[in-house]
Amino acid sequence: MNNKTAYPKAWLFVLPVVALVAFNALIPLMTVVNYSVQETFGNNVFFFEGVKWFEEVLNSERFHASLLRQLAFTGIILAIEIPLGVAIALTMPARGIWASVCLVLMALPLLIPWNVVGAMWNIFALPEIGLLGQMINGMGIDYNFTQQPMAAWFTTILMDVWHWTSLVVLLAYAGLRSIPDAYYQAAKIDGASGWAVFRYIQLPKMKRVLTIAVLLRFMDSFMIYTEPFVLTGGGPGNATTFLSIDLVKIALGQFDLGPAAAMSLIYFLIVLLLSWVFYTLMMRDEEQ
Amino acid sequence: MGLSWMAWTWPTAAFFIFIALCLVAMAIWEWRQPGGAPRRGVLGLDTTRGDRLFITLLGSAFIFLGWLGFLGTPLWGALVISLAYGFVVFRWV
């Protein structure tokens, strides 16, 4: 049973973390809550507005459109990156020099700063000078991500897949390497097919790391800002204006701090809810 | 350093005081009955008291947002539904 020794002073060791979280998360969050019920025109002068901004945001077509775009983007990249990451991890060598080479190559996109990734893909995909843009147009497909919404979406998704699939690969690979050889030997004796090994040994053993991969990719993609901002600036029109880009436009472009604060709280609650649902669903079977 | 930059209002201060009191109450409850009272509720989830508070607060936030989005102000109806929802969560989830 519980044989841990009670040591009340241990709580003191938690204090620095509590102070840090208070300064970088709680106090700013409290300030956002305060802003969300007020109107300001600067100079630290505020007028109480109640829940007006929340009502306005919840009934705003602009917010609905960015939320739908955000959900579509996150859904698409999760549907691509998770299976692709697992598939690549399965094909990587288990040991030897090639394992190290693959790991370094996989880690490279993760080391590039987000704004550089956006700038790289912007130039890479430009129809006039970019290699990708020239190649697609050379194949007879009319492609210009600065003018066509579908092309802008295609480029944004491709960029995200290029940048972040590696993270899923590295996590899945770590999960695969933690499976003892005895499992594979037992499967071999039983004459299990490749699919059966994947379905009943590898996939269940990767569950924990895949949960982390899904959560990380979900939260990151749901809050994506820098890469699409540098690549498309939210355009053409509003085609790639995701929630965070819209939020920055409202807060800093229009200086509507009240509506922006209300929107960011709704945004935060959606991220919190979806993360909780993902986590609970993925951990549920394991607990049972 | 003053706190004027945080733009405090009485309603938002009351909201945070309520959350803080909830946490204090949970701490006292845990001190009186240690272990977090884990159980598997009607949804098939393993929850402790803390989980149930989290589910209550998160769900209540969406009840308020839903009420506000579909019906607007006043929010008394959302408050009643949230209290009932919290009771259900603490009793059966």
Inside any domain, residue A19: no
**pLDDT tens for residues A89-128?**
999 998 889 999 999 999 999 999 999 999 999 999 999 8
Domain total for chain B? 2
* Same structural domain, B46 and B27: no
Confidence (pLDDT) at A60: 92
Is the pLDDT reported for residue B1 higher than 60?
no
Chain B residue with Cα closest to A30: B6
Tracing tokens 């499976």 back to the chain, one arrives at A179
A to B CB pairs, distance under 8 Å? 59
Q: The domain that contains A281 carries what CATH number?
A: 1.10.3720.10
Enumerate the residues of chain A whose CB falls inside 8 A of the CB of residue B5. Answer: 31, 44
Domain total for chain A? 1
- Look up the ipTM and state it: 0.90
Mean pLDDT score of chain A, rounded to an integer?
Answer: 90
What mean pLDDT do residues A180-201 have?
A: 89
Beta bridge partners of A47: A39
Give the domain range for residue B2: 1-34
Give the domain range for residue A219: 63-254+272-287
Across the interface, do A35 and B75 touch by the CB < 8 Å criterion? Answer: no
* Same structural domain, B45 and B75: yes
CA A26 to chain centroid, in Å, comes to: 22
Strand B39-40 versus strand B46-47 pairing type? antiparallel
* Same structural domain, B15 and B46: no
* Same structural domain, B42 and B25: no
* Same structural domain, B25 and B55: no
**pLDDT tens for residues A230-247?**
999 887 989 999 999 999
Chain B residue with Cα closest to A281: B45
d(CA A149, CA A156): 10
